Structure 1
């Protein structure tokens, strides 16, 4: 729980109590703090620095509760009664990769080794109990041998990652708030969109967000434009008005129950999330193995039910994606109709010293037909970077025209070491649509006519060395199918290591 993942399913340690937390400094959102606290809508909260904008260190106003050397930086009173106070947070991450055949063999380099380091340091100023200002700086650099695809999201001079003001009050018996400014948004399911964690620079947004939280019901609404991080000059990031994100979410926490002599609780999310895209992110595939840019409006209506029932843990979600695409050159309009189904169901062995979790993850993302130049577009897209390791560690696959089936097992050893082994298998949803990657789609030397893409057995080892230091390692072997090899694809080995300091 010191370093939680962005999903409440399969957490290393199951906790008890009304909030179900052993670690973490989260605001008091009641039952929505259960698990990793993700249900509150502000991302997973560990003890230090996973989502520093969602941390509340006001309890350290009582100096007797300080137990860590860094606690002196977490609550700094600026007046006599401590109602005005400052909290600092920080992260330095060193990450390195090795890939024998990057991008299913489509990159021009082999045996690529890359290295990246980033720094995220912030301050949270509380002006009484109703107003706070949060700011966070970022910089990053990258190098390596035979590197590829380095841009401004890897190499970033000092800039403002987040800068927002939040107002809090009680309205209609709900804990309410309004955030305005530049901020990271992780209020959607992590398999749909997340922080963009593989590069150095996470996604951030500019606009407003409002919320209301009752004991078992919460609502949330937002309207953002994406931060333009395409520059590499100091304090030069602006707004990218081509990409817009807006929507609302309703979450209900049903009454608790009992199942198989153990407790049950769950959360039901109903949400609408809209995208407006232009440029490369909005392009559609064409019959000539190329792409046509245009203007994309995608309307996502979704439902997600997640929680635990005795020894079983589950997350069941579905999204219908409608909208319209307009070609940039001709302004021709085509309707959109796609969908995604995302499920993860698992069983935690009772009274097991390693908290062993056995699960099955299945994902379906609809595809279309690149040979059609009119009519409905059936390809579901997820342009804003789902959680990095959700589908596969290599990040070669993304949520478009894809069927994935992945058994997994996770266990925690010595309270500080966890191991997950996962074996995903991948197919194309439609053989008339290409294989998609995080930006665009793959182009092989020959036509790929098969349906089965391949499989990627992978393992993840996480060691929480101290409360502030963690070391995670990922290894995978992406084994491409015979049909994909004939088209010019290639199997490859992937390794990644992350050494992270947080306070």
Structure 2
């Protein structure tokens, strides 16, 4: 491990000196843009791999990049003490390498992913997926001008929409998420419309065996309208999902679910906000679906105070099933959300709950930030259970009157000495509430993690 870390850190000092313009690494690495290097005849060694000319045309070029992440995690009382190996420490590592080739109106993107778990008992396929082709797709630009872009993308690819409440890339867990399918996208200055049809990739233990998934389909349309008076930005979307088998607390079977929703948001100036609402309908087994969620996230940055504190408040109401004996299912399905949905720890998923979540962030120095958040959880319905982020049932709610799930206190320290390198130290304490104590052993859960990430 030490040798591997040293090999990755050796070039960092060189990159710091080499880079004439700081890179902007995007959440989706196929959106990285190093075209500003095309007319730079004095490119240094690092910049030469970020923009590799192919022939004489400026529209023919290639770029390579990647990421290495090491994360040591130590926990006490996994699943609030209900697991036999409820405590211990382990090391997760993730390696990504990509090549992006542009040939005029066509481009090809490929990315390799390796996710390893060291010392972790019985790792899931998300924790350990030894080696696989994570992304490989063809992008065809049908229109590519300064005012409008219209393109289609076919193959295995990452997708994310909005704040990743419903569709994300699962950045927090050890393996990121991708889908097989196609997208058609229209982009203008203040408008983007996106339609897609995909099969979500299911990670399988081993190497190069994440095959096409016939057991799940994900499709829909997502539209973003920018710079609207008063509202600023508005997202409107429809998302459809089909699964061959879904298991909830009160029902199981084939699932066909439709989600319609909107999001109003603002991400500039001192005041920022994000308000979203969605409704779901469809069929699960023999039951009809009627589920919903409303969420709000508001924060304010105090620019004229030392450490420029950012004070935030999030709250969500997410429906659960009220009556296990009727023919209606009211449990909300979050589809494919980001991993650590509530704070630092990926314990609870957004289904059948409501919460109150204040937070504060402080810029201690230019490169060092401190974040503290406190989340309070309750079950929305007494007749539905508690779910993980992947909608696995953690505890059934049948016959349990307690609704208070518990509280989660999280503290995170992030250090970014250069754009290529970051370190985070995180800790969390989940104080088990009455529901968890009635449903299981009810011990408090403790989590610490030290993470180092290198990107190039």
Structure 1 length-normalised TM: 0.81
2:281 paired residue number: 322
Residues 95-132 of structure 1, C-alpha deviations (whole Å, 9 max, x = no match): 1211101122222223221211111100000002x111
Residues 382 and 398, structure 2, Cα contact 8 Å, conserved in 1: no
Does 1:436 pair with 2:387?
yes
Q: Mapping of 1:355-366 within 5 angstroms? A: 355-366=308-319
Residues 201 and 210, structure 2, Cα contact 8 Å, conserved in 1: yes
Cα displacement (A) at 1:348:
1.2
Quote the Cα distance in structure 2 between the aligned partners of 1:365 and 1:24.
Answer: 41
Superposition RMSD on alpha carbons, in Å? 2.3
Quote the Cα distance in structure 2 between the aligned partners of 1:148 and 1:463.
Answer: 30
1:266 to 232, 244, 265: 232
Quote the Cα distance in structure 2 between the aligned partners of 1:237 and 1:343.
Answer: 36
2:86 paired residue number: 110
Quote the Cα distance in structure 1 between the aligned partners of 2:54 and 2:350.
Answer: 47
Does 1:215 pair with 2:189?
yes
1:52 to 6, 29, 33: 29
Residues 270-321 of structure 1, C-alpha deviations (whole Å, 9 max, x = no match): 0001111123xx11213xxxxx541111111010000057531100000101
2:47 to 71, 79, 92: 71
1:424 paired residue number: 375
Residues 285 and 370, structure 1, Cα contact 8 Å, conserved in 2: no
Residues 118-168 of structure 1, C-alpha deviations (whole Å, 9 max, x = no match): 11100000002x111000011121122xx3451332222321100001111
Structure 2 length-normalised TM: 0.89
Cα displacement (A) at 1:353:
4.3
Quote the Cα distance in structure 2 between the aligned partners of 1:446 and 1:83.
Answer: 61
Residues 162 and 235, structure 2, Cα contact 8 Å, conserved in 1: no
1:42 paired residue number: none
Quote the Cα distance in structure 1 between the aligned partners of 2:344 and 2:318.
Answer: 18
1:299 to 258, 262, 282: 258
Cα displacement (A) at 1:205:
0.5
Residues 249 and 397, structure 2, Cα contact 8 Å, conserved in 1: no
Cα displacement (A) at 1:253:
1.1
Cα displacement (A) at 1:354:
2.4
Q: 1:334 to 1:217 in 2, by over 3 A?
A: same
Residues 106 and 443, structure 1, Cα contact 8 Å, conserved in 2: no
Does 1:85 pair with 2:68?
no
Residues 244-266 of structure 1, C-alpha deviations (whole Å, 9 max, x = no match): 11000111113468xxxxxxx82
Unaligned runs of 5+ in 1: 1-22, 26-46, 258-264, 287-291, 327-332
Task: Provide the secondary structure at the position in 2 that maps to 1:241.
Answer: coil
1:345 paired residue number: 298
Q: Mapping of 1:443-458 within 5 angstroms? A: 443=395, 448-458=400-410
Q: 1:106 to 1:64 in 2, by over 3 A?
A: farther
Q: 1:24 to 1:365 in 2, by over 3 A?
A: farther
Quote the Cα distance in structure 2 between the aligned partners of 1:149 and 1:405.
Answer: 33
Task: Provide the secondary structure at the position in 2 that maps to 1:71.
Answer: helix
Residues 387 and 395, structure 2, Cα contact 8 Å, conserved in 1: no
Quote the Cα distance in structure 2 between the aligned partners of 1:190 and 1:491.
Answer: 28
Residues 198-255 of structure 1, C-alpha deviations (whole Å, 9 max, x = no match): 432211101100111122121111000022322413x222111111110001111134
Does 1:125 pair with 2:98?
no
Residues 448 and 484, structure 1, Cα contact 8 Å, conserved in 2: no
Task: Provide the secondary structure at the position in 2 that maps to 1:154.
Answer: coil
Quote the Cα distance in structure 2 between the aligned partners of 1:159 and 1:484.
Answer: 37
Residues 446 and 486, structure 1, Cα contact 8 Å, conserved in 2: no
2:244 to 271, 274, 278: 278
Quote the Cα distance in structure 1 between the aligned partners of 2:321 and 2:51.
Answer: 53
Cα displacement (A) at 1:69:
5.2
Unaligned runs of 5+ in 2: 1-20
1:157 to 115, 118, 130: 130
Residues 154 and 200, structure 1, Cα contact 8 Å, conserved in 2: yes
Residues 304 and 316, structure 1, Cα contact 8 Å, conserved in 2: yes
Q: 1:178 to 1:353 in 2, by over 3 A?
A: farther
Residues 160-200 of structure 1, C-alpha deviations (whole Å, 9 max, x = no match): 10000111132896311110000011124312231123432
1:379 to 320, 323, 331: 331
1:249 to 214, 222, 242: 222
Paired residues in the alignment total 433
